[in-house]
Amino acid sequence: MTQSREDLRTNPLELIILLAMFTSIGALTIDLQLPAMPDILRSFGFTEGNQQQWIITAYMVGFALAQIIYGPLSDTLGRKPILLLGLLIYVLASVLCIVADSYLGFLLARALQGVGAAAARIMVNAITRDVFSGNEMARVTSLVMMIFIMVPVLAPSLGSLIIWLGGWRDILYVYVGFGLLAMCWSWWRLPETLADRHRKPFSLAQLKLTFGAVIRQPVSMAFAAVSGIIFSGFMAYLNSAEQLFASLYQVKEHFPLIFGVVALFFGVAAFLNARVVMRFGAMAITRVALSVMVMCNFLVVLVAWYFQGLPPLWLFLSSLVLINICIGLIYGNVMAIAMYPLSEHAGMGASVIGMVSALLASLLGVLISQQLEQTIMPILLGFLLTSLAAWLLVHRFRDRVTMAE
């Protein structure tokens, strides 16, 4: 039985779990296949390591470009039908991945998976903004991320188990099943969260007006860029994680465990942020976490230079843990700050912010990771330069951010 919109506000637990499921689609679609990427590449007749990075990038480009469509449609038709449409596209694209007989066909199907998953991701932001506001929105976003983080923690190990039991193509059936589960649960339990008074008639003139209102909001655009820039370094690491641990550090058998343990700290930080954001505010926490991240990255680059680009594994892992903690503190807050001025245009705002963030993260991320050769310096420099750029943007707009308590 479908809940009411007021039920979501007063008893948000089920909504938080659903939002975490929608958010998890992206991580599941990427992280479950991480141990399989060399096998996927070989099955299509390729061997050069950097080519496997396109498996993630293809998904991310489709994910980024489609986001601009869903928000405006949801402002007219509502959040629920757009969510269900995206989940249907995701399921169909996963089936196309199963039957793909060429690497290009597989990558195109991966991009279509991203197109479908984008609806779920955009609706997470729009639904959260429909129901909550201000620092409460940042708190809910952090709780969603805290639950979601179990996917990257467990997915590589689950992917390795699936490969061992059957083969990498069996992973694709998990995508189909997860998409169908999300569809059925949403159909049965999720109410429409867009209030009637906020619905907008669909017209090109109205789209242009709404799009213009969003992109002219400097705080929203600045923090959309912050989100994308800060995640571009992480995307470079994600693109190349299997190569880093399997080839450069020669710990392939421990890759799922290492990846999962490092990712766990993202969830710990998201949980911590959910506990303290109402007290200290989203902006203050973001500034402190970014400052720590810049200093950490600078020191690690210096140490890596001393070790000729390949520092001890324990040092690299320590830096990844601290980076994950900082990003876990930053992410929910940055998205809440970007969305807060857009209460009248939450759908379009979620689309534009999501597109800017995902495009920056995917394109800058693959640009960084493609430089990977015999050392990890490209990844470390990527972390340093992107965190510094994000810090400079936040510093520039720090006095223009106002959040309702």
pLDDT in tens, 143-170: 787 777 778 888 888 999 999 998 889 9
pLDDT band at residue 2 using 50, 70 and 90 as cut-offs:
low
pLDDT greater than 60 at residue 255 = yes
Q: Which CATH superfamily is domain 5-400 in?
A: MFS general substrate transporter like domains (1.20.1250.20)
pLDDT at residue 9 in the model: 60
CA distances from 206 to 80, 83, 195 (A): 21, 22, 18
Q: For the chain, give the number of residues.
A: 405
DSSP one-letter string for 40-83: HHHHTT---GGGGGHHHHHHHHHHHHHHHHHHHHHHHH-HHHHH
Q: What band does 390 get if pLDDT is binned at 50, 70 and 90?
A: very high
Q: Is the confidence at residue 1, as pLDDT, over 60?
A: no
Quick check: 364 pLDDT over 90? Answer: yes
Per-residue model confidence (pLDDT) at position 322: 93
Question: 346 vs 107, 124, 130, 327, 405, CA distance in Å?
Answer: 31, 11, 7, 24, 19
pLDDT tens-digit profile of 171-189?
Answer: 999 999 999 999 999 998 8
Q: Residue 78 — left, alpha, or beta (φ > 0 → left; ψ -120 to 50 → alpha)?
A: left
Residue 64 in tokens:
């980024």
If you average pLDDT over residues 28-33, what whole number do you get?
A: 90
Among 351, 341, 356, 333, smallest CA distance to 123 is for 351
Question: Would the pLDDT of 241 be above 90?
Answer: no
Which of the residue ranges 133-142, 204-213, 217-226 has the most confident prediction, judged by mean pLDDT?
217-226
Residue pLDDT, tens place only, 273-312: 877 877 888 888 999 999 999 999 999 999 999 999 999 9
Kindly state the helix (H) or strand (E) to which residue 205 belongs, with its residue range: helix 204-215
Ramachandran category for residue 199: left, alpha or beta (phi over 0 → left; psi -120 to 50 → alpha):
beta
76, two tokens: 């007219």
> Per-residue pLDDT for 6 more than 70?
no
What tens digit of pLDDT does each residue of 8-29 get? 665 678 888 889 899 889 889 9
Residue 180 makes CB contacts below 8 A (sequence gap 6+) with 91
For the chain, which residues make up each domain, given as ranges?
5-400
Q: What is the mean pLDDT of residues 137-148?
A: 75
Confidence of residue 404 (pLDDT cuts 50, 70, 90): very low
Task: Output the pLDDT for position 214.
Answer: 86
Question: What percent helix, strand, coil does the chain show, rounded to 5?
Answer: 85, 0, 15
The DSSP result for 347-394, as a single string, is HHHHHHHHHHHHHHHHHHHHHHHTT-SSSSHHHHHHHHHHHHHHHHHH
Query: Which pLDDT belongs to residue 290?
Result: 94
Tokens matching residue 94:
């996963």
Most confident of 18-27, 74-83, 127-136, 293-302: 293-302
pLDDT, tens only, 211-224: 888 888 888 899 99
Q: What is the pLDDT of residues 320-352, one digit of tens each?
A: 999 989 988 888 788 888 877 776 777 678 778
> For all residues of the chain together, what is the average pLDDT?
86
